Amino acid sequence: AQSVAQPEDQVNVAEGNPLTVKCTYSVSGNPYLFWYVQYPNRGLQFLLKYITGDNLVKGSYGFEAEFNKSQTSFHLKKPSALVSDSALYFCAVTEGGGSYIPTFGRGTSLIVHP
């Protein structure tokens, strides 16, 4: 069975500071990992994903995430936060060769203060 955990319901950061949104996962085989963002009154929007290769994945809007197999983590990062980054962030996982249906985390609300 596959699962994903986002340990923080909310992350607060000042504009211009680096941000990290945490995600850990559990799968039996090789993980495929995703980050999605949801702005108010909108659907989820794809940010980036890790399938294979370089552990550091770069995505939209300056976001990146680092796959860490030993720590089973896939934390989302950005060097300098913007107020417009304030949104709900979801981590998701599927398993290579397994179900194509992703399991989503509970979501983390990112609030960037001016």
Partner 1 sequence: ETGVTQTPRHLVMGMTNKKSLKCEQHLGHNAMYWYKQSAKKPLELMFVYNFKEQTENNSVPSRFSPECPNSSHLFLHLHTLQPEDSALYLCASSQEGQGGETQYFGPGTRLLVL
Q: In the bound complex, what is the minimum distance in angstroms from residue 113's beta carbon to partner 1?
A: 22
Structure-token match 């934390």, residue found:
75
Over 8-72, what HEC string results? CCEEEEECCCCEEECCEEECCCCEEEEEEEECCCCCEEEEEEECCCCCEEECHHHCEEEEECCCC
Please select the residue that binds partner 1; options are 51, 56, 83, 111, rule is CB under 8 A: 51
Contact 29, 96 (CB under 8 A): yes
Sole binder of partner 1 in the list 43, 53, 54, 70 (CB under 8 A) = 43
How far is 25 from 74, CA to CA, in rounded Å?
8
Q: Which of 15, 26, 44, 59 binds partner 1 (CB under 8 A)?
A: 44
Applying CB under 8 A, the site for partner 1 has a residue count of 26
The position carrying tokens 């550091």 is 56
- Distance of closest approach, residue 88 Cβ to partner 1, in angstroms: 10
Could you say which residues in the range 52-111 bind partner 1, by CB under 8 A?
90, 92, 94-102, 104-107
The contact set with partner 1 (CB under 8 A) reads 32, 34, 36, 41-46, 49, 51, 90, 92, 94-102, 104-107
